[in-house]
Amino acid sequence: MSAVTDTAPAPRAPQPRGGLSQSVTDSLVIAKRNLIRMARIPEMVIFGLIQPVMFVVLFSYVFGGSMSIGGSLDPERYREFLMAGIFAQTVTFATAGAGAGIADDMHKGLVDRFRSLPMARGAVLTGRTLADLVQTALTVVVLAVVGLLVGWRVHEGILKALGAFALLLFLGYAFSWIGALIGLSVRTPEAATSGGLIWLFPVTFVSNAFVDPTMMASWIRPIAEWNPFSATVQACRELFGNPGVVQSDAWPMQHPVLASLLWSALIIVVFRTLAVRKYRSASI
């Protein structure tokens, strides 16, 4: 007499649900989770607000009297010139925080727990970047108030100003995908923070954010004018009606709004694809 043994099939890993609507739902769930976490740790938001406010005050009152804008050394004119650059710098510097947050989730094993659930693979990263976008928008609002206090003004109406802020947030969201890729590529949050900042300094300073590119060396001026960061700054100055709009033959400087949209869209397409691919391979 022989015994027959039934072998139970091995459990299958949960399969991610498909469909655009499901991906959107999963992304919003992750975004909500990250926003709740930010609310429970308010110092994350507070420290994120302090740095850009310090930049506004320091650049306005330390360098304002020594910077020539359109041949004038007027400090008030420089403050209006400055704010578009500070806005753009603030939304792009949020990249470092996005990378550090994703690296921290990876380090703690949270991403592996998300991976065990039947959810869209890109939702974890999309939700994280959306939550960072909300925090960035809050920072921009506070920064605008500080700018008004130091003398910055909008001269082209509220609709164009809202368009400028939309371009800024679009740029910030695009750069957050670069931060996501960096966060997935390093082992610790500290390394993600360093890696997220080291490349941002040349991007923001080799631009039209703080000085007129016509004052730069001839070999570096084209780099500044074709910098995606510069296109957004130029567009914001036009839409705000602020001084310092660069007169240049470079296409991005002649069509800054369109150039800003195209650059940001291209960055999102490229780096979201790379980040999602890295997420899948890093989580296996």
Listing DSSP states for 75-110 in one string gives HHHHHHHHHHHHHHHHHHHHHHHHHHHHHHHHHTTH
pLDDT tens track for 35-57: 887 777 777 777 777 888 888 88
pLDDT tens track for 254-268: 999 999 999 999 999
Show the CA angle centred on residue 162, arms to residues 158 and 164, nearest 5°: 115
Q: Which two tokens stand for residue 185?
A: 């590529």
Q: Does the residue 211 lie in any domain?
A: yes
Domain count of the fold of the chain:
1
**91 falls in which pLDDT band (50, 70, 90)?**
very high
pLDDT tens track for 106-165: 777 777 677 677 777 778 888 888 988 998 999 999 999 999 988 899 999 999 999 999
Helices 158-185, 123-150: crossing angle, 10 deg rounding: 130
Q: Which two tokens stand for residue 79?
A: 């403050």
Nearest CA-CA partner of 268 in 164, 169, 191: 169
Q: Which two tokens stand for residue 180?
A: 């996501």
Given a contact cutoff of 8 angstroms between Cβ atoms, the answer to whether 58 and 139 are in contact is no
Number of H helices, E strands in the chain: 12, 0
Q: How far apart are CA 47 and CA 283, in angstroms?
A: 31
Q: Does the residue 2 lie in any domain?
A: no
Domain carrying residue 62: 20-282
Q: Does the residue 242 lie in any domain?
A: yes
Given a contact cutoff of 8 angstroms between Cβ atoms, the answer to whether 159 and 150 are in contact is no
Say which DSSP state 199 is in. T
**72 falls in which pLDDT band (50, 70, 90)?**
low
Q: Does the residue 9 lie in any domain?
A: no
Q: Does the residue 54 lie in any domain?
A: yes
Averaged pLDDT of the chain: 83
Q: Does the residue 50 lie in any domain?
A: yes
State how far Cα 116 lies from the chain centre: 29
Give the count of alpha carbons within 13 A of 201, CB side only: 5
- Sign of the CA dihedral running 106, 108, 110, 112: positive
**Matching residue, tokens 């693979």:** 121
Q: Does the residue 136 lie in any domain?
A: yes
Q: How far apart are CA 271 and CA 268, in angstroms?
A: 5
pLDDT at 77: 82
Q: Which two tokens stand for residue 45?
A: 């938001």
State how far Cα 45 lies from the chain centre: 15
Long-range contacts of 212-216, Cβ-Cβ distance < 8 Å, separation of 24 or more: 212/68, 212/69, 212/244, 212/246, 213/246, 213/248, 214/246, 214/247, 214/248, 215/68
Q: Does the residue 56 lie in any domain?
A: yes
Given a contact cutoff of 8 angstroms between Cβ atoms, the answer to whether 156 and 235 are in contact is no
pLDDT at 51: 80
- Answering whether pTM is above 0.95, one says no
pLDDT at 13: 45
pLDDT at 6: 47
CA torsion, points 88, 92, 94, 98, in degrees to nearest 10? 150
